[in-house]
Structure 1
């Protein structure tokens, strides 16, 4: 595979270098300039300069822009019809036709080719979609339903994205999605978890990039694709910023401040927020058993979750000269969760109540996250060559002590079990990457390296009370320390070009993955070997070498960029996280344990995506159909352990395995419609189907499922500068091999009014207006059934106030005017 990669790289490099001018004729001149998105102020990569000879119109030359939107093209001096083009944008025609000496045409600002956007007077309130060769970019505008909300809440308003009742994020119905912050894995997003996104403020987001066909510069992790969250940072000179404070019910309050100070040599930026949030929830389970001391158990659970957090991100960018800069940033998050779960059980035999129990679990979760990052950029010459080097270190230290007490309350009051659990999880991650971009006439070549080194240490101890002695004894079988390392080294190369209305981006990525595990425990791994039917080594060291090609094509069906077709293909990988690998059984209750599988291997997928974009005067349509085939996909299966608790209840184990081959088909469409200045409508729908095949331990886990989800948003501008926004979301019924889930529906409502000469905005939000966002499921196996209802968070109300200083209102809407450190395409290695 190494030889194949080197051969492919050599062929690409040889072909692209052969297109470069071999010698500079005496009459040759250079035409240079920069292309910028007029709305956002961001550079447009792969914009095309077209030069058509006036004397011989059949002769067409030109070039494309680099990551910074710059082009530098060498052509013979003469008379040309010159224009600048970019997919989905209005063509800009240069007034100059005579080029007899080298010319810098300066900065050219392109406008999106959507007439309806021109009719909206305040640009910061627009919702727009930009289609690139490898992504869709949603500038989600001034979404007042997320004022004072979290990043997780804001993602639930992005087309193709779904956030379930527990905060799990999926893309097109697939939860194996890679979350990036400013193009990189980050402590801001959490390590393999989305918990941090439920604590960070939504108003820190500039835009969200939905990348369903990632180019080679991205990590190959995530079979569903990538969500890249780009955070705000102003480029306006001087001191500017905003302050957002809010209060809500159930108890929810916080304060977030965004401050930016820019001079000719420095840019200093900071976002700091504090939060206090109570999130009550509930669950109901009706379980039946084919064996054990009870044939039916009904559980009522009440969740009381209190989150107190502080987060701050501070950075400084120093402009060394006009060509280079260095940026240093540091992030810190301190979080303390206090969770109390109360579980009332009614236990039956032959429809007769046998006894009642009450279980109380108290958990305190202290979480400290740190991250430091350095970024160096150097524009090596005026031709557009660029070198970018990055280093990032992240650390998360999470301590979770908990106490579990379970008592019998009927027919008598007595203690059943008392347990103390101590769990500490420490994660360290190093990221090193370098990218080099080389424009070559009309094309562009890019090459890069990225190393991502992760270490996860989980220390778990369970102490149980021995009622006969009154002493706590450590459970040796359930106490362990597991160290899991995931080291990924990657080289990538990609080449892009445009011929008339046709653009393409081809890439190849070589990744080497090392997965290492070390278990320190008295647990007998032979039990797991017996369950899996294969030899299992909890102390393992595995290596995988793979090639991941990507192909992205776009063809514009008209000259104005109002209609286009895109085609994408990519190969991706799903690496098991440490939680899935750790063979040590951990448990959410005395009757349910989760056990990782060190024999779990990565899953691989191949995905094809065909898209269509059409813009009318007041309407924009985006649509696509897609197909994905994943091999060795993960499945969590539930089994009876053959063991019972001291009071005779079967203990059930959940085990992840490489079970099946999965085929996934889908279609999606999104509409942005602005029929009038006072009304803006946004809707999307995604329909998908998957079928999987797999047999494990004599049980057929094959399943077919067709489901869909859709969302609708309307925003009405009322008199007196009042805005009214309504968001509705519905997810259809779904099923897997063991569980069927009913549909989910929710409505969010918000009103806002501008005050203080438009420097301030007051908003009132209602989340889940009908209190209907509840998951109802039915699970059936050969040894038990379960009907359940689960509500993660009840209906909530929130009143917020935003004040902006030295910052026009439109810049607060979606962070127009800049990217965060390393937040654009040049950071996505």
Structure 2
């Protein structure tokens, strides 16, 4: 349902709400029914139902239909006229009728109003939130901030979600979040990098699941983000074209095309982008000896010029086998060729800050990524509304290739220091099987059950070679070169039951997952198999205090499995003094998640707030440690992960939506949390010394976001977004606070068939990760900016896209992993 339709329905219902608040004494009865579309028999959500008094000819009460098209109205007995309205449909007014007891009016069918269809301007391009029992669904629509951007830009504009300077996604400040695309795990390698490659224009919705039910994968201790891509559903031939250009270089072209007839729907999404993301890093280090005596200062200055040219293509067909059965098949292709030209300067000073020398490290990275996926979705709807069976299968393959050429020189005399080259070839194959069955029981109950098998095989082939002199051949560096095979097989089954009793709704579920993980380090002959089975209960309780307010209590158990990068004991070689090494002994962590939420709606204001508590056993903690080695007098620092004893996270969050004026809307989000760790880490450095670091800590942090949307004269839309992430203590230092702002303008043109937009991302060029870290022999201050301020222009044109299209496709969307829940 688009924004204008929602406002129109609300406008029609305002008189009803006004009169309905006048309480009448005496007996109350309930009038119920269901509103459907006559031609398709599909439920009409947000249809307006009004009870009109015969004597006064004025509204007595009313309601708006839910996702099933159903309504329930409480009134005193009397003679009434019933009125049924839906935008672009013919209004039905029933004859006068006496109501003396609870009455079910049955099914009311509304027909299209051809005249209205030619006049009403409604575009399904809203940005809205739909709050359900176990998730929040954000329809991206006409969000000005994401024009010409990527999925990362979209997520950074979703309440409760943040994306830091390095592209890491967090939900409520927790980076342990599971990210799905169309209900499936991505097979594009590092998910944070993958999100920077997918154009924003291909996204339809984002589901935010802070406390997932048993229906979802148990993976992700911090919650789930499900990114749903666009799939055409409009009748006839239609589509949308978008072109964009910006500085730094940001050229993009995309098209979403659709042809739908009675028995089939053909859809495709095509996209091309050519982007450059210049960034920089500043690291100031103090180096000490074993006795904590200052030895030297090293100032590192790094400039990155990341670039990429990519193509995204999706082709699919939905076959309507009969009135109740559909079968959808699609092919998805993504390719990206690019790289990163990195210049690093090391300015060396002695303990008295006297200049010694400057060395340079030049790294030319060339990358090539290819992804292909086939997906099939079968849906069978039975006679009873909501009774259905869905089956999904997908197979996908991803191949990432990286080549780096690294040279090191002394700037003062241009002397040769070293030359290295690296090669990385990561291959991933994923097979996914899923089946879900939904059985309505009675009027307000539902039983669900399902099976899911997710089988992943990854092979990472990595090589590092060095040239010690200009005339010498390249030789292999054994401690980096390796082949890792990682297999993850997870088989799951679940069942859950939900029901609504008057104003009380509940959803109880239980999920079982059997996991088998094979970690085969082929180079060093390390073979480890980990098998474990877990039960994951979930419970969701909701009470509707009034039609405008409700309270909910939720619980679920979650698991976080270490990825292959966390496990590989061979170090990566992005820098010769800052290494990343996996830990083959790391185990999954388990989280108990609790949430208490409250929702309240007023005429112009909506408040959604929650208290949450997560208790995690064996949580992943990142640790930086000194290897004991030195390169040019600089200690080599290695980053790895280990299982911490326990982590407790307690927080409070609220979101406000305020329609201050017809032309001005405000949205605000605030999140406060306290994190407590208990545990320690011990390791043996290259000098055979045992180093123990205590990770007991308490940290408090908060973040806030405010978005203002103003309609200026000449229907120019102006949107401003400001965020602040407060400072946060870490086990080995502090992350500083970050403030950032985005700005955008847009204007509809060509009789509203086109839109021009202009946006500025990071207006003050302040989006940086700033850290202070203290190790026994190294104290460092770092500032990292992944991408500097950017400016983008875009133009959107809608091709034969009905501006009156109020279509809400009630058929299950492929892998949309979350149907409307009872009471949602």
Shorter-normalised TM range: 0.7 to 0.9
Alignment partner, residue 186 of structure 2: 186
Q: What RMSD over aligned residues (CA atoms) do the two structures have, in Å?
A: 3.3
Alignment partner, residue 544 of structure 2: 556
Work out the CA distance in 1 between the residues paired with 2:80 and 2:528: 64
Deviation string 1:117-150 (CA, Å, 9 cap, x unpaired) is xxx9867565433221111122344211211111
Q: Does the C-alpha gap of structure 1 residues 384 and 42 become closer, same or farther in structure 2, counting only changes over 3 Å?
A: closer
Give the counterpart of 1:516 among 509, 515, 518: 518
Q: Does the C-alpha gap of structure 1 residues 757 and 447 become closer, same or farther in structure 2, counting only changes over 3 Å?
A: same
Work out the CA distance in 2 between the residues paired with 1:650 and 1:815: 60
How do 1:378-527 and structure 2 match up within 5 A? Answer: 378-382=380-384, 384-410=386-412, 412-441=413-442, 442-467=444-469, 470-522=472-524
- Local SS of the residue matching 1:547: strand
- Answer yes or no: is 1:724 the counterpart of 2:718: yes
Please report how far the alpha carbon of residue 106 of structure 1 lies from its aligned counterpart in structure 2 after TM superposition.
5.4
Alignment partner, residue 653 of structure 1: 638
Give the counterpart of 2:697 among 695, 699, 703: 703
- Local SS of the residue matching 1:793: coil
- Local SS of the residue matching 2:192: coil
Work out the CA distance in 1 between the residues paired with 2:36 and 2:817: 15
Give the counterpart of 1:213 among 199, 211, 214: 211
Q: Are the counterparts in 2 of residues 584 and 596 from structure 1 also a CA contact under 8 Å?
A: yes
Alignment partner, residue 24 of structure 2: none
Deviation string 1:166-192 (CA, Å, 9 cap, x unpaired) is 1111000001111112222234xx345
Work out the CA distance in 2 between the residues paired with 1:208 and 1:728: 20
Give the counterpart of 1:671 among 656, 662, 676: 656
Deviation string 1:420-449 (CA, Å, 9 cap, x unpaired) is 100110111110011111111131101100
Deviation string 1:383-437 (CA, Å, 9 cap, x unpaired) is 6431111101111100001011111123x33111100100110111110011111
Give the counterpart of 1:776 among 770, 787, 792: 770
- Local SS of the residue matching 1:195: helix
Deviation string 1:515-541 (CA, Å, 9 cap, x unpaired) is 101112158xxxxxxxxxxxxxx3111
Deviation string 1:573-628 (CA, Å, 9 cap, x unpaired) is 01000000111122221112211111110001001100011100111111111011
Please report how far the alpha carbon of residue 154 of structure 1 lies from its aligned counterpart in structure 2 after TM superposition.
1.2
Alignment partner, residue 249 of structure 2: 251
- Local SS of the residue matching 1:334: strand
Q: TM-score, normalized by length of structure 2?
A: 0.84
Deviation string 1:65-96 (CA, Å, 9 cap, x unpaired) is 99x9489xxxxxxx999999xxxxxxx99999
Alignment partner, residue 53 of structure 2: none
Work out the CA distance in 1 between the residues paired with 2:81 and 2:633: 82
How do 1:220-369 and structure 2 match up within 5 A? Answer: 220-291=218-289, 295-350=296-351, 351-369=353-371
Give the counterpart of 2:818 among 806, 822, 825: 825
Q: Does the C-alpha gap of structure 1 residues 267 and 98 become closer, same or farther in structure 2, counting only changes over 3 Å?
A: farther
Alignment partner, residue 146 of structure 1: 146
Q: Are the counterparts in 2 of residues 361 and 405 from structure 1 also a CA contact under 8 Å?
A: yes
- Local SS of the residue matching 1:264: coil
Q: Are the counterparts in 1 of residues 482 and 570 from structure 2 also a CA contact under 8 Å?
A: yes
- Answer yes or no: is 1:566 the counterpart of 2:552: yes
How do 1:86-125 and structure 2 match up within 5 A? Answer: 105=107, 124=124
Q: Are the counterparts in 2 of residues 461 and 478 from structure 1 also a CA contact under 8 Å?
A: yes
Deviation string 1:491-522 (CA, Å, 9 cap, x unpaired) is 10000000000001110000011110111215
- Local SS of the residue matching 2:195: helix
Q: Are the counterparts in 2 of residues 634 and 660 from structure 1 also a CA contact under 8 Å?
A: no
Work out the CA distance in 1 between the residues paired with 2:757 and 2:385: 49
Work out the CA distance in 2 between the residues paired with 1:281 and 1:816: 42
Alignment partner, residue 587 of structure 1: 573
- Answer yes or no: is 1:606 the counterpart of 2:607: no
Deviation string 1:274-312 (CA, Å, 9 cap, x unpaired) is 001111111110111223995221101101111110001
Please report how far the alpha carbon of residue 466 of structure 1 lies from its aligned counterpart in structure 2 after TM superposition.
3.2
Alignment partner, residue 12 of structure 1: none
Q: Does the C-alpha gap of structure 1 residues 325 and 413 become closer, same or farther in structure 2, counting only changes over 3 Å?
A: same
Work out the CA distance in 1 between the residues paired with 2:810 and 2:242: 20
Deviation string 1:605-661 (CA, Å, 9 cap, x unpaired) is 00110001110011111111101111101111111212233x343222212110231
Name the structure, 1 or 2, with higher relative contact order (CA <8 Å, separation 6+): 1
Q: Does the C-alpha gap of structure 1 residues 546 and 522 become closer, same or farther in structure 2, counting only changes over 3 Å?
A: closer
User: Is the deviation greater in 164-173 or in 514-523?
Assistant: 514-523
> Which ranges of structure 2 fall in alignment gaps of 5 or more residues?
1-31, 50-64, 71-77, 84-91, 112-119, 683-691
Work out the CA distance in 2 between the residues paired with 1:666 and 1:83: 46
Work out the CA distance in 2 between the residues paired with 1:80 and 1:825: 41
Q: Are the counterparts in 2 of residues 477 and 521 from structure 1 also a CA contact under 8 Å?
A: no
Q: Does the C-alpha gap of structure 1 residues 555 and 301 become closer, same or farther in structure 2, counting only changes over 3 Å?
A: same
- Local SS of the residue matching 1:175: coil
Q: Are the counterparts in 2 of residues 241 and 260 from structure 1 also a CA contact under 8 Å?
A: yes
- Answer yes or no: is 1:680 the counterpart of 2:665: yes
Q: Does the C-alpha gap of structure 1 residues 515 and 810 become closer, same or farther in structure 2, counting only changes over 3 Å?
A: farther
Deviation string 1:208-255 (CA, Å, 9 cap, x unpaired) is 211111111100000010111222234221011110001111111110
Work out the CA distance in 2 between the residues paired with 1:82 and 1:780: 75
Work out the CA distance in 1 between the residues paired with 2:229 and 2:364: 35
Deviation string 1:796-827 (CA, Å, 9 cap, x unpaired) is 11111000022245869x99988753335259
- Local SS of the residue matching 2:645: strand
Q: Does the C-alpha gap of structure 1 residues 569 and 82 become closer, same or farther in structure 2, counting only changes over 3 Å?
A: farther
- Local SS of the residue matching 2:464: strand
Q: Are the counterparts in 2 of residues 394 and 429 from structure 1 also a CA contact under 8 Å?
A: yes
Work out the CA distance in 2 between the residues paired with 1:810 and 1:634: 50
- Local SS of the residue matching 2:619: strand
Q: Does the C-alpha gap of structure 1 residues 699 and 274 become closer, same or farther in structure 2, counting only changes over 3 Å?
A: same
- Answer yes or no: is 1:692 the counterpart of 2:677: yes
Deviation string 1:442-475 (CA, Å, 9 cap, x unpaired) is 3110110000001111001111113286111111
- Local SS of the residue matching 2:221: coil
Q: Does the C-alpha gap of structure 1 residues 424 and 562 become closer, same or farther in structure 2, counting only changes over 3 Å?
A: same
Work out the CA distance in 1 between the residues paired with 2:383 and 2:43: 21
Q: Are the counterparts in 1 of residues 151 and 198 from structure 2 also a CA contact under 8 Å?
A: yes
Give the counterpart of 1:751 among 745, 749, 763: 745
Q: Are the counterparts in 1 of residues 513 and 533 from structure 2 also a CA contact under 8 Å?
A: yes
> Which ranges of structure 1 fall in alignment gaps of 5 or more residues?
1-30, 50-64, 72-78, 85-91, 110-119, 524-537
Please report how far the alpha carbon of residue 696 of structure 1 lies from its aligned counterpart in structure 2 after TM superposition.
1.4
Alignment partner, residue 539 of structure 1: 527
